[in-house]
Structure 1
Amino acid sequence: MISKSTPLLQNYTVVESEEVSTGKLIACHNEPYPYAVYYCHFQLGSVNKVLMVSLRGDNGDQVDAAFLCHMDTSTWSAGHIGFRLLRLKPGDSEICHFFPAYDMVVVP
């Protein structure tokens, strides 16, 4: 369900999580246009996990979010932003992240 409000910047605690899919998925990222435009992509031959996660904020707000784990990063470019942020190299570790508001993940 899409909320019309923007969650506050605060600490959140994971209350519950459920794996939705492994394997094939299409990720769609909202682009900054005055109307709905998405950049969608997929990765052939890569193993991913998608979880739906319920989070509770310090102020009691509850937020549901999609969480994606890229389980094998060995074929990624060494210049990928994830490696720079986490100070890793391809194949060192899986990389996981939440999907921001208005981004989508499509699973079979």
Structure 2
Amino acid sequence: MARSSLAALPLLLVGAAMTASAVYQDNYFFLQQDLYPGSTMTLHLAAAAAAVALPLPRARVDATIPFTSTKIPEILSRLSVPAGSPTAAAIRSTLAECEAPPLAGVAAQRCATSLESMADFAAACLGTRDVRSATMTRLSRDGGAAPPRQQPYVVESVRPHPVAGGDLVACHRMPYPYAVFSCHTTTAALYAVTLAGAEDGAKAKAMTACHKDASPGIFWPTYKKLGVAPGTVPVCHFVPQDSMLWMRK
């Protein structure tokens, strides 16, 4: 990947009634050396959907709604979801992924069905209740109109974001009728990146994670495409708007 351009690196910010307002395509990565003021990348942006899956209180979820593939008929009934609908298929898919064994190299992994359980998991992994979450990608444009789906963006600034101890917990939104996050431990250097649209001046502030050893979440073809071997140089990606990163204060 040339230093002068990060062409064809999409940051997809899309919406659906059952998912959050941002979806990150996890097969798109770039090298840390390519992230610097003045570099150019082509990003795919779209308006966020109005309807998103909202979080439910832990007391309600734990007491009234099962979260296991062994009770899918009961889940569909309680959530008033038709058995043959796309939403039902998404429920089955999410449950299967949440019940799968953790990825190799990941110290801890769990699906959180409430904000309270997500915060508890982060605190347990980080060894302290004194944790905070990082601000994710944010978009803005004069007049409030949606930016075009794709255009070149120029990196205006790259500012390091401190991570105490170097380890953190990443939680990614899963497709479900209410907010469910797949959380896992990881290590990364974080950067707050400001981008400006070359065509319409649309602005984006994107949190960027660079992993020195991201092999548990990045497959060999990606490293081959980048022209590097796993663990040799930091590999980066933008953190989508619907994800949360937890770290020590």
Which bracket does the TM-score occupy, shorter chain normalised? Answer: 0.7 to 0.9
Other-structure match for 1:12? 153
Q: Which amino acid in 1 is paired with 2:173?
A: N
CA, structure 1 residues 93+33, in 2 after alignment: closer, same or farther (shift >3 Å)? Answer: same
Q: Which amino acid in 2 is paired with 1:85?
A: T
Match of 2:232 among 92, 97, 101: 92
Shift of 1:32: 1.5
Query: Any unmatched runs of 5+ in structure 1?
Result: none
d(CA) in 1 for partners of 2:152 and 2:247?
Answer: 29
Other-structure match for 2:174? 31
- Spell out the pairing of 1:1-108 with structure 2 (5 A cutoff): 8-22=149-163, 23-43=166-186, 46=187, 48-58=188-198, 59-73=200-214, 76=215, 80-81=218-219, 83-87=220-224, 88-108=228-248
Mean CA deviation greater in 84-93 or 49-58:
84-93
CA, structure 1 residues 10+69, in 2 after alignment: closer, same or farther (shift >3 Å)? Answer: same
Shift of 1:11: 1.7
Task: State the number of aligned residues.
Answer: 101
SS in 1 for 2:221: helix
* Greater Rg over alpha carbons, structure: 2
Shift of 1:6: 6.6
CA, structure 1 residues 35+11, in 2 after alignment: closer, same or farther (shift >3 Å)? Answer: farther
Contact 1:26 1:105 in 2 (8 A): yes
Structure having the higher strand fraction is 1
d(CA) in 2 for partners of 1:6 and 1:36?
Answer: 25
Q: Which amino acid in 2 is paired with 1:35?
A: Y
Contact 1:21 1:107 in 2 (8 A): no
TM-score by length of 1: 0.74
In the TM superposition, structure 1's runs of 4+ consecutive aligned residues that sit over 3 Å from their partners are 1-8
Other-structure match for 2:123? none
Contact 1:27 1:42 in 2 (8 A): yes
